Structure formats: C-alpha cells, structure tokens
C-alpha cells in the first residue's frame, strides 16, 4: 500500500458541527479523507457531507430505546470489530478512539477524563444519584482499560494531560493539541441591536449570559451563579441582568428557585436554544463557573467573538488566558464570594474588558479546525 493511503478507523459518538468533541472528530475525518486516506467512521451521528464522501465508509450504531448507556456499549463493541477487521486487511491502518468509548489500544483522543470529573448532584432525586454513580463507575472502568496500553494519547488541554498523568498514563505518550476555532469576526453594532431585539431586552442594559445544560447534575455551576446573582441584586449599584440558556431536567426546578429568591426579574430563563451565536451578540459577558471542564469550547467561541468570559481555573481553556486576563479566572468554582468579586471587577471597567480580550481572541481564531486536525496527524504519524 502506498504511503498516504493507509486506512483510518475513527470511533466516536458524533462527526458533525453541533458539539465540541463532535466538531473535532468531524475536522479530523474531513482532513484525512481530503488527503486520500480511506476512512471508516463508527458512530451514532454523522454529517451528510461525510456520509456521502467517496473515501468515507460509515457504520452507524443505534442507541436502543434512546439509551446512551446501551448505545455507548454497542459503539465500543462495533468499533472494536471494525478496527480488528481493518487491521487484518491493512496492518498499517490507524485506529482512533475517544476516551473509554472503545477498548482499542492505538490512538486515544481524550476529550474528558471521568476519573477527574466527580458527580455533582446534590439537588437531584435519589434515583438519579444512584444511576449517576453507576454510570460514572462504569465509565471510569472503561476509560482506564482503554487508556492502559494506548500507544499515543491526545489531550485537548494541559489540564487534561495532567489528569491523564494522575491516572497513570506515561507522560511521554501524551500530546496536547488544543481544539480549533470556527471562522468568526468581532460582533458588529448591527448584530448586537438585532440580537437584543430578538431577546426583547433594553439596548443599553448590561447583560451577562450563562450557557450550559441544566440537568440534575450541577457541574456547570448554575447553583454558584444563582446565589451570586441573588447577592448582586441586593446591591443598589448592580445593574447587570443575567440570561440563562440551556435545556434539561432541571430547568423548571431552577426557575422555581429563582422565583423563590425574588430575582426572576433579573434572570431570564431562555431554555434550550440553537441561537447561541445571537445570544453572544447580545451579551457583554459570558459567565462559566464550571467545576470540571476538560477544555471549554463554548468559552472559546465567546472570546473569539470579542465577548469577555469569567471562567473557572478548572476549565482547560483557562491555561490559554494571559496574565492580563487573570482577573477573569475564578480560582474556586464553589466560592460565591469570589464570583461576586469577579463580576464586580468586570462591571467596574466593562468597556475596557472587550479591548483586553482582543489579543486572545485573535490568537484563538488563528488556530482553525483544519490546523488542529493537521497537528493531530503530525503528532501520530511515524517520523
């Protein structure tokens, strides 16, 4: 087989443009196919542009009864079978899996580390807590088994790299490759006006936004944020309103808590939206007091458009913040006092923060998804 035509098998939940790891998987598959490699995707969801590509073969794996647990198990089993058959025909083929989704020991692209990601379900019903712990235990066992003998491990941040080392992965096997960025430009005045008109908010009112799933698990930090907002709203000098965007089982529960706290007029519950681009255009700040975040693509997307973001130090993307933006980093995502302080610091110099994030925005935008995929291939190809 001629060099450059070796097959690749990619095993991942999704290859499309609608999620962080799915975008990354999509970019890798697209670049490999464009370079002439036969590519076999084993997945639940795939973008039509990949599914119809002449060099790409897709094995689509269903989720029985919509079960993610059963779907993940079937994905791993099917991926292992496809990888074995491909290697038998083409010994130089490469196989890429994601974390513990498939027990194959070639290239493992780690988008999150379950061993470093504890359940945060204090507000959840008992049945969810039990299920959450069972799911986490299984995910950790699968993760450790898949990573144990992997030849090469790709981490999406140095935070992830350190978590992998703590898990026992030899440091020399790990390469850090940051996620890519979509083409974007700073938000225009026209976009801002149109977005605020869509949301029905005052054109001049300072607006902060939170974007994240509102399930029974509070990893995204909505509990810390709501309590911070309650304290801020008690201050006569606080004029910032909050928009919370995200769907999930916990939406109505958080809506009731916000109403009971007497701050419903200051927090707009948007629910699920696929109009995050417009939401960012309307905002002055993104707030993400997340407890665990291997990278933080949503944060990156906000900064790329010129929106300052208060983020937790526990998010991988925080390591890309320069010293000039250190006041936007939340050292303790459990601390309401610290988050209030960060918000007040931002509000006191709100116009200047948009200027201060510009260099980081330019740096992030300069690293495209294709650049990321190219770096990935360079890291795993034999020298």
Pair 126, 210 in one domain:
no
Contact 220, 213 (CB under 8 A): yes
> Residue 54: exposed, middle, or buried by beta-carbon count in 10 A (0-12, 13-18, 19+)?
exposed
Interval 314-326: pLDDT, tens: 999 999 999 999 9
User: What band does 195 get if pLDDT is binned at 50, 70 and 90?
Assistant: very high
Q: Examine residue 2 and state whether it is found in any structural domain, yes or no.
A: no
Pair 147, 210 in one domain:
no
pLDDT at 19 over 50: yes
Interval 73-124: pLDDT, tens: 999 999 999 999 999 999 999 999 999 999 999 999 999 999 999 888 887 8
Pair 244, 324 in one domain:
yes
Q: Examine residue 244 and state whether it is found in any structural domain, yes or no.
A: yes
Q: Examine residue 345 and state whether it is found in any structural domain, yes or no.
A: yes
Pair 29, 139 in one domain:
yes
pLDDT at 1 over 50: no
pLDDT at 126 over 50: yes
Domain with 269, as residue range(s), is 189-365
Confidence (pLDDT) at 120: 87
Pair 164, 114 in one domain:
yes
Pair 168, 205 in one domain:
no
User: What band does 215 get if pLDDT is binned at 50, 70 and 90?
Assistant: confident
Whole-model pTM: value is 0.92
Pair 256, 316 in one domain:
yes
Q: Examine residue 3 and state whether it is found in any structural domain, yes or no.
A: no
Pair 120, 234 in one domain:
no
- Consecutive H or E run containing 367: none
Q: Which has more pLDDT, 127 or 65?
A: 127
Q: Examine residue 269 and state whether it is found in any structural domain, yes or no.
A: yes
Pair 170, 194 in one domain:
no
pLDDT at 372 over 90: yes
Interval 330-339: pLDDT, tens: 999 999 999 9
Pair 51, 139 in one domain:
yes
Interval 267-325: pLDDT, tens: 999 999 989 999 999 999 999 999 999 999 999 999 999 999 999 999 999 999 999 99
Q: Examine residue 267 and state whether it is found in any structural domain, yes or no.
A: yes
Confidence (pLDDT) at 4: 56
DSSP state of 212: S
Confidence (pLDDT) at 383: 53
Annotate 340-367 with b (16+ C-beta within 10 A) or e (fewer).
bebbeebbeeeeebbeebeebbeebbeb
- CATH value at residue 205: 3.40.50.2000
Please state, in angstroms and rounded to a whole number, the distance separating the CA atoms of residues 10 and 313.
Answer: 31
> Residue 175: exposed, middle, or buried by beta-carbon count in 10 A (0-12, 13-18, 19+)?
middle
Residue tagged 């801002």 (tokens) = 192
- Consecutive H or E run containing 107: strand 107-110
Q: How many domains does the chain have?
A: 2
Q: Examine residue 125 and state whether it is found in any structural domain, yes or no.
A: yes
Pair 255, 174 in one domain:
no
Pair 275, 169 in one domain:
no
Q: Examine residue 350 and state whether it is found in any structural domain, yes or no.
A: yes
């Amino acid at each position: 087989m001629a060099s450059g035509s070796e097959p690749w098998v990619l095993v991942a939940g999704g290859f499309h443009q609608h999620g962080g790891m799915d975008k990354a998987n999509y970019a890798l598959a697209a670049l490999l196919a464009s370079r002439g490699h036969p590519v076999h995707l084993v997945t639940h969801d795939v973008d039509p542009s990949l599914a119809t590509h002449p060099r790409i073969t897709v094995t689509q794996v269903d989720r029985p009864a919509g079960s993610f647990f059963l779907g993940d198990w079937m994905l791993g089993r099917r991926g292992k079978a496809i990888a074995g058959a491909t290697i038998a025909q083409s010994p130089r083929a490469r196989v890429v899996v994601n974390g513990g989704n498939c027990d194959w020991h070639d290239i493992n692209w780690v988008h999150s580390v379950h061993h470093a990601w504890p359940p945060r379900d204090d507000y959840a019903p008992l049945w969810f807590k039990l299920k959450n712990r069972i799911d986490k235990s299984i995910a950790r066992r699968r993760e450790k088994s898949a990573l144990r003998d992997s030849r090469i491990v790709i981490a999406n941040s140095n935070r992830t790299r350190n978590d992998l080392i703590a898990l026992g992965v030899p440091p020399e096997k790990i390469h850090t490759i940051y996620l890519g960025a979509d083409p974007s430009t700073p938000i225009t005045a026209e976009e801002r006006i149109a977005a605020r008109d869509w949301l029905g908010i005052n054109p001049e009112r300072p607006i902060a936004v939170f974007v994240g799933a509102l399930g029974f698990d509070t990893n995204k930090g909505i509990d810390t944020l709501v309590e911070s907002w309650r304290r801020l709203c008690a201050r006569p000098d606080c004029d910032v309103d909050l928009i919370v965007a995200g769907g999930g089982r916990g939406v109505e529960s958080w809506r009731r808590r916000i109403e009971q706290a007497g701050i419903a007029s200051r927090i707009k519950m948007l629910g699920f939206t696929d109009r995050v681009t417009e939401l960012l255009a309307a905002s002055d700040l993104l707030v993400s007091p997340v407890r665990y975040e291997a990278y933080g693509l949503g944060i990156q997307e906000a900064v790329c458009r010129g929106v300052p973001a208060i983020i937790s130090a526990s998010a991988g993307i925080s390591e890309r913040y320069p010293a000039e933006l250190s006041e936007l980093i939340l050292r303790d995502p459990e601390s309401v006092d610290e988050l209030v302080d960060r918000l007040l610091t931002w509000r006191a110099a709100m116009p200047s923060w948009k200027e201060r994030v510009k260099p980081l925005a330019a740096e992030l935008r300069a690293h495209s998804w294709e650049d990321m995929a190219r770096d990935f291939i360079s890291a795993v190809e034999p020298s």
